[in-house]
Amino acid sequence: MNVNGQRVHPEDPTARLLDFLRDDLDLRAAKEGCGMGECGSCTVLVDGRTVCSCLVLVGQIADSDIVTAEALERSDPPGRPGLTDRLRAELVDHHAPQCGFCIPGLIVSAHAVLTEHLSPTDEQICCGLEGNLCRCTGYRSFVRAIQAVGR
């Protein structure tokens, strides 16, 4: 398995990907908010797809490429370098993070929306973020920030 470009060798195939990232690799951007795939705080990219890392065992994805919020720029699409940096900057400038606990998962989903759609609509953004709960913001600041990246 590759995590953020590093070859890693999990000892326990039955470990949850979230625990492996946080406890074995000290990558603690992905958070646990519910442990059952409802809140999306643990979202990471597995072979380019958004996945709740609390629902995946490392043995299920032994040959996969994992990207977490810490190294999201590794997933910037060819021809769109700097997408992650722009997304981060727009989130900051739009005052999107409040407590920030949801952001490391949410930004992975936002990145996926922007990878799929050059200039996503309100509806496309809201569908893309539907699996990421945020209790602070009401999501509108995320929509504004993502649309600013898309412009």
Partner 1 sequence: MTRAPAPLATTVQERSALIVGQSLPADDAWPIVTGALEFVTDRRVDGMLHAAIAHATVPHALIQSIDVTAARAVPGVVAVLLGGDVPVNALGDDDGDGPVIVDTVVRQLGDPIALVAAVDEATAQAAAAAVTAAYLPLPIVDSARSALEPGAPQLHDKGNVAGHLAFASGDVDAAIRGAYLTVERHVRTPVQEHVALETPGGIAMPDGVGVTVWCGSQFPGVHRRKIARALNIDIADVRLISNPVGGAFGSRNDDPMPVYLAVLAWATRRPVHLKMSREDVMLIGQKRHPFDITTRTGFSSDGRIVASDMTALVDTGPYTTSGPNVLKTSAELSVGPYRMPMARFDGTVVYTNNANGGAFRGYGVPQSAFAIETAMTQAAADLGIDPVELRLMNILRGGDEHALYRHHVTTSLRAAETLQAAAEHAWWRDRAAWRAAATGPWLRGTGIALAMKGVGLGSGKGDTSRARLIVSREGVVQIWAGPNHTGQSIDSSYRQVAADTLGIPMDRIRMTVGDSQLVPEAGSTSSSRSMYAGGEVVRRACVELLDRIETSTGTRVVDPSTCRALIDSGDAEILAEFRLPDSDLGMIPPGQLVTFAPHLVFGCSAQVARLEVNRYTGELHVCGIVCAIDCGTAINPAGVIGQAEGGVTQGLGYAVMEEHLIAGGRPLTKSLETYAIPTSRDVPPIETILVDGSEPTGPMGAKGMSEVVVVPTAPAIAAAVLDAAGVLPDRIPITPERMMRWMSGEQEAIA
Print the binding letters for residues 55-94 with partner 1: x by CB under 8 A, - otherwise: -------------xxx--x-----------x-xx--xxxx
Angle at 83 between CA 75 and CA 35, to 5 degrees: 55
d(CA 40, CA 33) in angstroms, rounded, equals 8
The residue from 62, 100, 118, 121 that contacts partner 1 (CB under 8 A) is 100
Q: 7: buried, middle or exposed (CB in 10 Å: 19+, 13-18, 0-12)?
A: exposed
Q: Is 24 in the site for partner 1 (CB under 8 A)?
A: no
Is 125 within 8 Å of 146 (Cβ atoms)? yes
Q: In terms of CB distance, is 63 or 147 closer to partner 1? A: 147
Please give the size of the binding site for partner 1, defined by CB under 8 A. 53
- What residues line the site for partner 1 (CB under 8 A)? 22, 26, 28-36, 38-39, 41, 68-70, 73, 85, 87-88, 91-95, 97-104, 107, 125-127, 129-143
